[in-house]
Structure 1
Amino acid sequence: MRDTVDAGADLLVVQTNNATFGFTDESVQQAAMSRLRAVEHGRAVAHVSTVGVSAMIAPDGRVLERAGLFTQAVLEATLPLRTSTTLADRVGAWGEAALAALGLLGALAIALVGRRGLGRPR
């Protein structure tokens, strides 16, 4: 989605077909990911599914309109168009890499501390 925002998108549209997931939580999870993307990029998102959850999502992640699984519906909402960039847009993949590196270093530190602690008498 970052490429789309970088190319000038002022609204994001996510199309999906969740037919193979049936009544599992996969469709709800995909809609939640669209909410995260709305906040990440500061853009409204129209999350459209042929058989899963569809939603109109504000740039702050609020769901303005929603249709459930296997529900035929017409959703209507006024979605704001935005052109400003968020910190996530400006930092790009570097932010993701830094957070991943911090996570790995934290896991390594926990593993080392735990390993040293096993050999000590209590």
Structure 2
Amino acid sequence: MAPAPEPYRNRIELLQGTLDMLILQTLQWGPQHGYGISQAIRSQSGEVLQVETGSLYPALQRIERQGWISSEWGQTEQKQRAKFYQITETGRQQLARDRSRWETMVAAITGILQPVPES
């Protein structure tokens, strides 16, 4: 059995724009409030990525201003008032661009970390 991944503890944020991409991806699964978004990122990353409130809410505000998400007030399962976010069509287009750039970056880094031996 593989060892459990160590939680992401570096105070330097994820690569510029990565949090926005993760939020947009999470909202692809359906509307969610801020705490739900952070929990989804945490659970889907195997408990490795933990988004702090101080990073999440400014990111939500920024990407809402960009038109990538919209929000409305509602009630949580616990009957608490919360702002629920959902991805817009513009957000879906942005997510596709972000994913493409991310996949290019991952391939480039993989090429450096695992170079193909020359024949």
Q: Which has the larger radius of gyration?
A: 1
Under a length normalisation based on structure 2, what TM-score does the superposition of the two structures give? Answer: 0.29
Q: TM-score, normalised by structure 1?
A: 0.29
